[in-house]
Structure 1
Amino acid sequence: MATETRTSAGELRAFLHGLPGVDQVGADERAARLATRSIKTSAKAEAIDLAISMVDLTTLEGADTPGKVRALCAKGVRPDPADPGVPKVAAICVYPDLAGVAAEAVRGTGVGVASVATAFPSGRAPLEAKLADTRAAVAAGATEIDMVIDRGAFLAGDYLKVHEEIVATRQACGDAHLKVIFETGELATYDNVRRASWLAMRAGADFIKTSTGKVAPAATLPVTLVMLEAVRDFRDATGRQVGVKPAGGIRTTKDAIRYLVLVNETAGPDWLTPRWFRLGASSLLNDLLMQRRKLATGVYSGPDHFTKD
């Protein structure tokens, strides 16, 4: 993996502030226009299965238990017990202390284990604690780490601190993939989202992710569009492809399909795979399953037909 791990504060600031500004009105209008695109019924069935395969099925609550995580894993591996043709999800996303439970539950299934780390969701902790958090999750069996940047440092213009923390966390991940969460609802401007995207990619991120799901607004189509443009341009500039994960507030099949259209029209079809695009969600999977069943049978099953966890 080619990453730019050596840089100075001045060089980094000059690079990030030299990026082209984002036309906010244009980004909003393009995202709104793409959101109105309709797809044929035959394509909708394929889109639903693709969206299911991209889901990072998530539980990040203080009341999470090993039993809840095992149930979530069983659902991720076999989303609809009555239909073995339903694809499994991409990963199960949990707190570090439950990563081992999830890893054991999905062993041999091909479903990944994503663990939030680095003082999620605030990102406010000493670097040593963040790295210990990361290493513990990987040691427990996490195959993906979702880290949060220090938004305070970023907004204060201390880009080098954020860069160095991402580099250190990438190294602590070992073979696990690193997703870098920006908490875009706190970054305030699309220009900041673009800068954060390039900063994370230069530091070695495998994925860039919108949100923790704990701050509103979370994922939005315009913000995701800006991030998709960034990964597209980064690959053009460096030859390295980076994934994108919107998370938080994506609840319906209609929402999911809008994101798939956005990916195809912005970054291109190379990103239309779970390897390069994920949907972070807790309730989305049930709606996808209900819509899938309706397309197959003509009957709308209703939410009680599927488990809530």
Structure 2
Amino acid sequence: MSSDMFRFDNKVFENININTYNVKVMSNGLTQRFHQLDTESTIKELLFAIRSIDLTTLSGDDTDANVQRLCCRALQPLRSHLMDYLKANHTLSPEEPLTTAAVCVYPSRAADCVQAFERLATNSSASNAVSIACVATGFPSGQYSLETRLAEIEFAVKCGAHEIDVVVDRSLALNGLWNQMSDELIQMKDLCDRSGAHLKVIISAGELGSLDNVYKASMTAMLSGAHFIKTSTGKETLNATLPIGVVMTRAIGDYYRMTGRRVGFKVAGGLKTGQDAIDWIGLVKSQLGDQWLNRDLFRIGASSLLNDIENCLFRLVYKREPKHYELSL
């Protein structure tokens, strides 16, 4: 969809005033959900969480070797004995592969992902199910010239990225320069459109100063053509919180009612446990409905979350604590 179809107008949100107290009350009700689900429902939600994960490595010491391990884990997120049990008990369909939604890396590592999936394709029919996402545009700060930020998108898609997670220049939000932010995002969207890549916009909500700005940045990104809006880089002091999620998903719902276009939601930063994942799934379900609960409209950016989900599934299935050798490394 061309960015020409989007007409940014900050009048859409100029009078927005978020009631922080009400948002916190609403989000507090979501944290009990993990303990209210029965075993079968918990297993199903944890499996959905796996399918929603953008399995991430964004470290200064990333190498082709650990990127290859990341790709292997994306294709086989659980140990085979656990997978076999879940298939035998009809929790998992034998015909439907269980993979993460994507791997997420720096642009310089995208080609490593392409090569890894090509090597793994002979051993897994699921290799095409995992997208390659790259962070770009001066991640995580966004404090670079627009020229170099756009060039980074071009490099990432040239190296094989299917999805681009861009960061906004937070100074534009903090100074209320929403038109300028939109102009930059539209140029980023146009570059993604040329290659067929999807644009995910990281608003870095924890650095925006207020929930009003979280709403405004979310709406600006969507009006500029974003396929997804994303909470955080994972590098901020304040990462994703449920109140932030309530405001962002409310903006997504408002945008959908205004335009008829569904925009995805990606939560990232600080998600460590299966309970965290279920809390966020519950938030999306309550704010946007079941139609948003698929990998095209919901993602979880995480590096260590998958290990805890596997641990949770083991305990739910076998009714005991796992030995260290019974879980993935």
Kindly provide the amino acid, as one letter, of the partner of residue 57 in structure 1.
L
Aligned to 1:98: 109
Alignment of 1:1-309 (within 5 A): 1=1, 3=3, 5-7=6-8, 11-12=9-10, 14-18=11-15, 20-37=16-33, 38-82=36-80, 83=83, 87-107=98-118, 108-174=127-193, 175-301=196-322, 305-308=326-329
Secondary structure of residue in 2 paired with 1:35: coil
Letter in 2 for 1:140: C
Gaps of 5+ in 1: none
C-alpha displacement at 1:5, in angstroms? 4.3
Alpha-carbon distance in 2 for matches of 1:253, 1:263: 16
Per mean C-alpha deviation after superposition, the further-off stretch among 104-113 and 67-76 is 104-113
Q: What CA distance in whole angstroms lies between the structure 2 residues aligned with 1:81 and 1:30?
A: 37
TM-score by length of 1: 0.94
Cα pair distance change 1:25/1:303, threshold 3 Å: farther
Task: Show CA shifts across 1:133-161 (max 9, x none).
Answer: 00111111111000000001221121122
- Partner amino acid, structure 2, of 1:173: C
Question: Aligned pairs, how many?
Answer: 303
How far residue 35 of structure 1 moved from its aligned partner, in angstroms, is 1.5
d(CA) in 2 for partners of 1:159, 1:306: 47
Q: Is the 8 A contact 1:16 1:199 kept in 2?
A: no
**C-alpha spacing 1:292/1:149, structure 2 compared with 1 (3 Å):** same
- Work out the CA distance in 1 between the residues paired with 2:309 and 2:325: 14
Amino acid at match of 1:98: R
Q: Which amino acid aligns with 2:128?
A: T
Contact 1:22 1:191 (C-alpha < 8 Å) held by counterparts: yes
Cα distance, 1:17 vs structure 2: 1.3
Which letter maps to 2:12? F
SS at match of 1:141: coil
Structure 1 pair 6–240 and aligned structure 2 pair: CA distance change class (3 A): closer
Displacement after TM superposition at 1:294 (Å): 1.6
Q: Spell out, residue by residue over 1:81-109, the C-alpha distance to the aligned partner (whole angstroms, 9 max, x if none).
A: 42265721000000000011112323543
Amino acid at match of 1:151: R
Measure the CA separation in 2 of the matches of 1:17 and 1:305: 54
Query: 1:78 and 1:45 mapped to 2: Cα distance?
Result: 17
Amino acid at match of 1:17: E
- Answer yes or no: is the 8 Å Cα contact 2:79–2:328 preserved in 1: no
Separation (CA, whole Å) in 1 of partners of 2:324 and 2:218 = 36
- Which segment drifts farther, 298-307 or 277-286? 298-307
Aligned partner of residue 13 in structure 2, secondary structure: helix
The letter for the 2-side match of 1:93 is: C
- Structure 2 distance, partners of 1:164, 1:202, is 11
Identity of aligned residues (%): 39
Q: Conserved in 2, the CA contact under 8 Å of 1:118 and 1:131?
A: yes
User: CA distance change for structure 1 residues 279 and 29 in 2, over 3 Å: closer, same or farther?
Assistant: same
Paired with 1:36 and 1:21, the residues of 2 have a C-alpha distance of 28
Structure 2 gaps, min length 5: 93-97, 119-126
Residues 258/188 of structure 1: CA separation in 2 closer, same or farther (3 Å cut): same
Structure 2 length normalisation: TM-score? 0.88
Give me the whole-angstrom Cα distance separating, in 1, the residues matched to 2:303 and 2:279: 18
Runs of 4+ in 1 over 3 A off after TM superposition: 2-7, 302-308
SS in 1 for 2:268: coil
Distance between the aligned counterparts of 1:293 and 1:31, measured in 2? 29
Q: Which amino acid aligns with 1:129?
A: T
Judged with a 3 Å threshold, the aligned counterparts in structure 2 of structure 1 residues 2 and 295 are, in CA distance, closer, same or farther, namely same
Summarize the Cα distance change of 1:21–1:302 in structure 2 as closer, same or farther, 3 Å threshold.
farther
